[in-house]
């Protein structure tokens, strides 16, 4: 039975993995940031040494995109330097690393969905720190899976879906940008891919892109949420310049999933299909 360490064990993706994993014979150890601080070398080594882990799923990350601009050192510590520590220890103890990355490693200047081999050029501190973490993994390890995803949401944690459901209850009107385009990704679907990688004992290491199918703006995403949740909220589409943020976002961050679909023989649901399921599962509907 594979033994698996999950860092960031209280985050939405880890909670989705936990929920899906119940039907499999897998030995998971979920560690929250309070239980295992990945920035601490001694704590990491103590956890990995002698525990017999086969896999480490790194869900731990600094994901506050705007705050990262003024907290560069913290973002770099968690998303880059700690990942470097983790990669070196995974190599030392022969643990396969599954690391979650982001569409923010790209600039958003493409007009076609991004392939894994496309040039990276992050626009802000968050994307740069995540890209640096990716590079450290590739420099230190041969047995790794880096999964770049986008617009992650679920019924767990803090995310766009839960924010919109809350706003829909509290507000009569809301403005959402329509000139940033990508693909919402249900964390439960991403968790399913991760479990498939482990269960199949795949040796097809490398970088992968995973999101749901289809394309949407943040406005489209919000519109679909309100419609599926039967909420009456007047939604106003606006340009990004009308909603200034500390960090610049990619205007186009659609990911090409051809590689992951071919290698793992999976069918990826359309984002609206998965959103409907998430809303049904949501306790805050």
Catalytic residues, which ones?
Answer: 126
- Helix, strand or coil, per DSSP, at residue 221: helix
**Is residue 207 a contact partner of residue 116, using CB atoms and an 8 Å limit?**
yes
Alpha-carbon distance of 215 to 182, in angstroms, equals: 6
Alpha-carbon distance of 157 to 17, in angstroms, equals: 13
**Is residue 80 a contact partner of residue 132, using CB atoms and an 8 Å limit?**
yes
Tokens of 211: 């999101």
- Helix H or strand E segment including 182: strand 181-182
- Which of 153, 151, 152 is CA-nearest to residue 279? 153
Alpha-carbon distance of 36 to 89, in angstroms, equals: 14
- What radius of gyration, in Å, describes the C-alpha atoms of the chain? 18
- Helix H or strand E segment including 149: strand 144-149
Give residue 275's Cα distance to chain centre.
16
């Amino acid at each position: 039975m594979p033994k698996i360490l999950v860092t960031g064990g209280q985050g939405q993706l880890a909670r989705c993995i936990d929920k899906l994993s119940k039907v499999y014979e897998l030995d998971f150890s979920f560690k929250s940031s309070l239980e295992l601080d990945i920035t601490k070398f001694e704590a990491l080594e103590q956890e990995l040494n002698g525990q017999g882990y086969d896999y480490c799923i790194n869900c731990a990350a600094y994901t506050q995109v705007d705050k990262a601009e003024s907290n560069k050192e913290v973002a770099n510590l968690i998303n880059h330097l700690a990942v470097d520590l983790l990669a070196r220890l995974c190599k030392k103890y022969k643990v396969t690393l599954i690391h979650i990355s982001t569409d923010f490693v790209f600039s958003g200047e493409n007009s076609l969905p991004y392939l894994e081999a496309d040039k990276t050029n992050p626009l802000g501190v968050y994307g740069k720190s995540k890209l640096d973490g990716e590079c450290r993994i590739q420099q230190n390890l041969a047995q790794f899976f880096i999964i770049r995803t986008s617009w992650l949401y679920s019924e767990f944690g803090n995310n766009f879906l839960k924010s919109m459901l809350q706003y829909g209850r509290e507000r009569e009107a809301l403005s959402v940008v329509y000139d940033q385009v990508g693909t919402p990704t249900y964390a439960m679907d991403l968790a399913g891919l991760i479990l498939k990688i482990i269960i199949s004992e795949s040796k097809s290491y490398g970088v992968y892109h995973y999101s749901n199918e289809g394309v949407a703006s943040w406005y489209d995403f919000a519109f679909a949420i309100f419609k599926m949740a039967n909420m009456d909220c007047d939604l106003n589409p606006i340009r990004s310049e009308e909603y200034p943020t500390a960090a610049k976002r990619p205007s186009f961050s659609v990911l090409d999933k051809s590689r992951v679909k071919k290698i793992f023989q999976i069918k990826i649901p359309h984002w609206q299909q998965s959103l409907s399921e998430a809303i049904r599962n949501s306790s805050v509907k």
